[in-house]
């Protein structure tokens, strides 16, 4: 059988193969799918980038806050307070006691007008807004240092203020003596209350004040007179007095308390007495022109036992740049030069005689100590202490990168012109030697320039925040391992602030008597909650330590407690208004929940010792760092418990 192909009669068509690859449509489909996937993944990245950025900012802020807190721990003594203070039209300072410590709002002209406040020459509302609301330092303590020589200023005891740059202007008084904007004073004198007239004498014969030491003063509250131990000579001493007084706007208003931080008292020297007689103290008017002229037109009364009096340090004139110190140890001059019209980094030079001088104080003989009150210029000027490496390269990385330099465009579309906003073309960065107080360098016009006795050339990488000191200059000036202080600003309006509770709080008899440094308790239970201790609002969030104190429980039993810490309420919704005064508080229930049982609350009692509380100390120091991110303020707070050294 023959096998073969069967011919059907249909023509055979050749088989064509499809070429390898994808059609355009298929490619487009794949690309769309890929793009959808990639975009979905990319949507995750901005959140990640934002998280990384926020984490970096938080880390920087935590580091700055810790640095600032460490600096407080290393001080000889803490300041008495850091206040929300603002100058009045008459030059005195008003403490804005209703300012909440967390307030980061901007100051307004309406706020100024309401409180009869003015902006000092060279400043503006910016210097009293957000982190600058708490900027007045009261009582930075300076134990007069060991004197050292310098090329520029001669021989003196150098001290660098902790929170510079400071607000400062120079001028002259009516006698052509130099003046400045800070207040330097000795430790407080001991009060002795006396009468300036003989008791029972209808003629009002004068009663000579009795004083045993230059560390004492006598005061007659009824007649507003004061007396000091006299000094033989031909010049005059000046004293500062801080006090509270009652003011009343009209007959229908309740009297309220205001505070004067530092008013001057001039005490003329007396000629040398004849023979061997000792010069005797004499009474003088506390307010020579009357309190309504010298203090307040609405003055009602001086608040008893509210005052502190200090010997004023004299600002000496200079000749050829050299301070003209005398044999009086209560003298100082400025070591650092003025930066523009209103700024100074805050390096002082004390009379070298002050280092070995022993003064009489309420605690007995002590080495001379100065207390300095001043206004911080701007908390947005960052200050960092850094140690120079022991070997090259002498690179120092600052905490905050992206340092502002002249010509940078700010968020409000203005052009940055340097550290000191009100001046033109000021430096972008300043470096000072913390130990010697001498200038080291400044970054101006895009270059690091050597300055002062310890001058060192340097370069700055603003983006990275790295300063590289010239190796030869560091070696020649022996600055290895030296502590340098850097002043600069950074993008994001970074700022640093220290807040501190008042050193000692005193008890006030009524809510209307309450100032920033007082507390109120209602042992009678008539006006306030009996288990609470009240403070002005500017103390919100502080921590206070109570010494020995006594309360009565719900069963009428007296309980003695001691050495307990309480946190002052910082929730504005829980503030109380008593007799027209806004107040915050601590509550016994914070440490003793049993104090609140069936409305039979515990309450303070004076019956045991005559005073319900033996002492109330401010114990907290808060280090705050803020910056602006995504059009809102962000902040990091770091708080610790530090108590001022005794004897202040």
Q: What percent of the chain is predicted at pLDDT more than 70?
A: 91
What pLDDT sits at residue 170? 92
Contact 243, 217 (CB under 8 A): no
Question: Are 430 and 521 members of one domain?
Answer: no
Does the pLDDT at position 525 exceed 50? yes
Q: Can you read off the two tokens belonging to residue 488?
A: 């600069």
Q: What is the DSSP letter of 14?
A: P
C-alpha triplet 432, 433, 434: angle, nearest 5°? 105
Question: Rounded to whole angstroms, how far apart are CA atoms 395 and 470?
Answer: 9
CA distances 571 to 83, 564, 575, 621, Å, are 20, 21, 7, 19
Last residue of a domain, one of 447, 462, 492: 492
Same domain, 369 and 389: no
Confidence of residue 102 (pLDDT cuts 50, 70, 90): very high
Cβ proximity of 521 and 534 under 8 Å: yes
Q: 323 and 182, same structural domain?
A: yes
Output the six-digit token pair for 576. 């109380």
Q: What percent of the chain has pLDDT over 90?
A: 60
Minimum mean pLDDT range among 225-229, 534-538, 551-555 = 551-555
The pLDDT of residue 174: 84
CB of 129 within 8 A of CB of 111?
no
- pLDDT at residue number 373: 95
Q: What is the reported pTM?
A: 0.87
Q: Are residues 533 and 601 in the same domain?
A: yes
What confidence tier does 300 reach under pLDDT thresholds 50, 70, 90?
A: very high
CA dihedral 529, 532, 537, 541 (to 10 degrees): -140
591: burial class by Cβ within 10 Å (0-12, 13-18, 19+)?
middle
| Statement to judge: residues 165 and 128 lie in one domain | yes
Do residues 462 and 406 share a domain?
yes
Question: Burial letters for 569-585: b for 16+ Cβ neighbours within 10 Å, e otherwise?
Answer: bbeeeebeebeebebbb
Per the structure, the complete domain to which residue 106 belongs is given by 81-187+312-375
pLDDT given for residue 4 in this prediction:
45
User: Which tokens belong to 185?
Assistant: 């004073």
Q: Answer yes or no: is pLDDT of 225 > 70.
A: yes
Task: Please tell me the distance from the alpha carbon of residue 292 to that of residue 297, in angstroms, as a whole number.
Answer: 4
For 557, how many CA atoms within 13 A lie in the half-sphere containing its CB? 5
Q: How confident is the model at residue 113 (pLDDT cuts 50, 70, 90)?
A: confident
Q: Determine the Cα–Cα distance for residues 473 and 394; give it in Å rounded to an integer.
A: 10
Establish if 144 belongs to a structural domain. Answer: yes
In a domain, 251, yes or no: no
**CA 210 to chain CA mean position, Å:** 39
Whether the pLDDT of residue 26 is over 90: the answer is no
Beta bridge partners of 610: none
* 295: alpha, beta or left? (left if phi > 0; alpha if psi -120 to 50): alpha
Query: CA distances (Å), 536 to each of 99, 116, 174, 179, 511, in order?
Result: 9, 20, 38, 33, 9
Residue 48 confidence (pLDDT)? 60
- H helices of 74-203, where? 109-114
Q: Is the pLDDT of residue 2 over 60?
A: no
Pick the closest to residue 604 from 640, 559, 568, 648 (CA basis): 559
* Tens digit of each residue's pLDDT (9 = 90 or more) over 457-479: 999 999 999 999 999 999 999 99
Res. 446: pLDDT tops 50: yes
What whole-number distance in Å separates Cα of residue 91 and Cα of residue 116?
11
**Is the per-residue pLDDT at 630 higher than 70?**
yes
Q: Could you give the CA distance from residue 74 to residue 571 in angstroms, rounded to a whole number?
A: 32
CA distance 29 to 47: 29
Dist. CA 517–CA 307, nearest whole Å: 12
Q: Two tokens at 429?
A: 């960065």
Residue 402 pLDDT greater than 50, yes or no:
yes
Q: How far is CA 39 from the centre of its chain?
A: 50
Asked whether the beta carbons of 454 and 479 are under 8 A apart, the reply is yes
Domain for residue 299, yes or no? Answer: no
The answer to whether 346 and 164 have CB atoms below 8 angstroms apart is yes
pLDDT of residue 646: 43
Return the SS3 of 51.
helix
Q: Pseudo-torsion of CA 377, 382, 387, 392, nearest 10°?
A: -120
Is residue 217, in this structure, part of any structural domain at all?
A: no
Reference 488, options 611, 343, 383; nearest CA is 383
Tally Cβ neighbours within 10 Å of residue 191.
15
How does residue 1 score in pLDDT terms, banded at 50, 70 and 90?
very low
Ramachandran class of 437: left when φ > 0, alpha when ψ lies in -120 to 50, beta otherwise: left
Tell me if 285 is assigned to some domain.
no
Specify the pLDDT at position 516.
93
CA distances in angstroms from 160 to 140, 166, 355, 438, 506, listed in the order given:
11, 11, 16, 10, 31
pLDDT surpassing 80 at residue 8: no
Q: What mean pLDDT comes out for the span 249-277?
A: 83
**Of 63-72, 197-206, 388-397, 522-531, which one has max mean pLDDT?**
388-397
- Among 492, 510, 528, the domain-final residue is 492
Q: Do 480 and 534 reside in the same domain of the chain?
A: no
Same domain membership, residue 614 and residue 506: yes
Judged by DSSP in three states, 341 sits in coil
Mean pLDDT of 421-434: 87
Q: What is the largest CA-CA distance in the chain?
A: 170
Dist CA 370 CA 384 (whole Å): 24
Segment 14-41 shows an average pLDDT of 72
The last residue of a domain, from among 453, 470, 492: 492
Whether the predicted pLDDT of 266 surpasses 90: yes
Q: What Rg, from alpha-carbon coordinates, does the chain have?
A: 33
Q: Quote the CA–CA distance of 186 and 142 in Å, as a whole number.
A: 10
In this structure, the answer to whether residues 539 and 456 fall within a common structural domain is no
Q: Is it the case that residue 188 has pLDDT exceeding 50?
A: yes
Confidence at 594, pLDDT banded by 50, 70, 90: confident
Q: How confident is the model at residue 87 (pLDDT cuts 50, 70, 90)?
A: confident
Q: Which of 4-8, 33-37, 197-201, 422-426 has the lowest mean pLDDT?
A: 4-8
How many domains would you assign to the chain? 3
pLDDT of residue 200: 56
Residues 332 and 412 in one domain: no
Does 396 share its domain with 481?
yes
Q: State the pLDDT at residue 46.
A: 61
Average pLDDT, the chain: 88
Residue 297 lies in a domain: no
Better pLDDT: 253 or 609: 609
Given pLDDT bands bounded at 50, 70 and 90, which one contains residue 271? Answer: confident
Q: Which of 32-41, 183-192, 209-218, 295-304 has the lowest mean pLDDT?
A: 32-41
14 lies in some domain? no
One domain, residues 108 and 157: yes
Which residue is listed with tokens 């980061």? Answer: 104
Checking if the pLDDT of 17 tops 80, the result is no
Indicate the Cα dihedral angle 406, 408, 411, 414, nearest 10°.
60
Residue 264 placed within a domain = no
The backbone region for 218, taken as left when phi is positive above 0, alpha when psi lies in -120 to 50, beta otherwise, is beta
């Amino acid at each position: 059988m023959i096998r073969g192909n069967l011919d059907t009669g249909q023509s055979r068509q050749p088989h064509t193969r499809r070429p390898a690859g994808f059609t355009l449509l298929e490619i487009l489909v794949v690309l769309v799918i890929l793009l959808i996937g990639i975009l979905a993944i990319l949507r995750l990245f901005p959140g990640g980038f934002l998280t990384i950025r926020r984490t970096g900012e938080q880390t920087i802020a935590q580091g700055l806050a810790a640095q600032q807190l460490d600096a407080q721990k290393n001080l000889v003594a803490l300041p008495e307070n850091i206040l929300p203070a603002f100058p009045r039209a008459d030059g005195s300072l008003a403490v804005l006691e209703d300012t909440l410590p967390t307030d980061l709002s901007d100051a307004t002209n309406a706020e100024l007008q309401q409180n009869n406040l003015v902006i000092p020459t060279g400043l503006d509302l910016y210097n009293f807004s957000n982190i600058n609301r708490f900027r007045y330092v009261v009582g930075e303590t300076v134990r007069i240092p060991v004197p050292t020589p310098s090329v520029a200023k001669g021989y003196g005891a150098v001290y660098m203020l902790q929170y510079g740059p400071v607000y400062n202007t120079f001028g002259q008084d009516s006698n052509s003596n130099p003046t400045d904007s800070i207040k330097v004073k000795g430790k407080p004198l001991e009060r002795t209350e006396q009468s300036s007239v003989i008791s029972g004498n209808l003629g009002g014969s004068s009663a000579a004040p009795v004083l045993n030491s230059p560390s004492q003063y006598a005061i007659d509250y009824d007649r507003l007179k004061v007396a000091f131990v006299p000094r033989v000579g031909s010049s005059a001493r000046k004293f500062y007095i801080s006090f509270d007084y009652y003011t009343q706007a009209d007959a229908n208003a309740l009297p309220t308390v205001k505070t004067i931080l530092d008013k001057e008292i001039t005490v003329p020297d007396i000629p040398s007495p004849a023979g061997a007689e000792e010069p005797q103290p004499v009474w003088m008017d506390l307010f020579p022109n009357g309190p309504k002229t010298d203090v307040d037109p609405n003055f009602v009364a001086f608040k008893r036992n509210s005052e502190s009096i200090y010997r004023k340090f004299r600002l000496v004139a200079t000749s050829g740049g050299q301070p003209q110190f005398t044999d009086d140890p209560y003298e100082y001059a400025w070591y650092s030069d003025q930066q523009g019209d209103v700024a100074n980094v805050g390096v002082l030079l004390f009379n070298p005689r002050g280092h070995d001088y022993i003064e009489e104080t309420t605690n007995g003989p002590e080495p001379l100590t100065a207390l300095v009150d001043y206004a911080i210029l701007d908390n947005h000027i960052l200050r960092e202490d850094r140690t120079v490496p022991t070997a090259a390269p002498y690179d120092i990385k600052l905490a905050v990168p992206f340092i502002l330099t002249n010509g940078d465009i700010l968020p409000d579309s203005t052009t940055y012109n340097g550290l000191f906003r009100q001046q033109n073309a000021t430096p972008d960065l300043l470096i000072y030697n913390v130990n010697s107080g001498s200038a080291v360098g400044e970054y101006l016009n895009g270059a690091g320039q050597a300055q002062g006795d310890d001058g060192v050339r340097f370069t700055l990488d603003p983006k990275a925040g790295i300063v590289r000191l010239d190796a030869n200059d560091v070696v020649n000036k022996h600055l290895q391992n030296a502590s340098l202080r850097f002043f600069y600003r950074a993008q994001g309006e970074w700022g640093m602030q220290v807040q501190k509770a008042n050193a000692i709080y005193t008890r006030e008899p009524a809510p209307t008597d309450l100032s920033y440094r007082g507390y109120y308790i209602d042992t009678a239970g008539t006006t306030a909650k009996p288990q609470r201790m009240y403070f002005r609002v500017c103390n919100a969030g502080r921590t206070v330590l109570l010494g020995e104190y006594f309360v009565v429980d719900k069963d009428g039993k007296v309980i003695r407690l001691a050495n307990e810490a309480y946190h002052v309420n910082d929730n504005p919704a829980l503030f109380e208004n008593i007799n027209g005064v806004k107040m915050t508080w601590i509550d016994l229930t914070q440490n003793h929940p049993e104090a609140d049982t069936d409305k039979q609350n515990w309450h303070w009692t004076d019956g045991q010792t005559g005073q319900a509380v033996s002492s109330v100390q401010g114990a907290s120091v808060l280090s705050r760092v803020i910056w602006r991110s995504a059009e809102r303020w962000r902040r990091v707070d770091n708080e610790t418990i530090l108590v001022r050294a005794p004897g202040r």
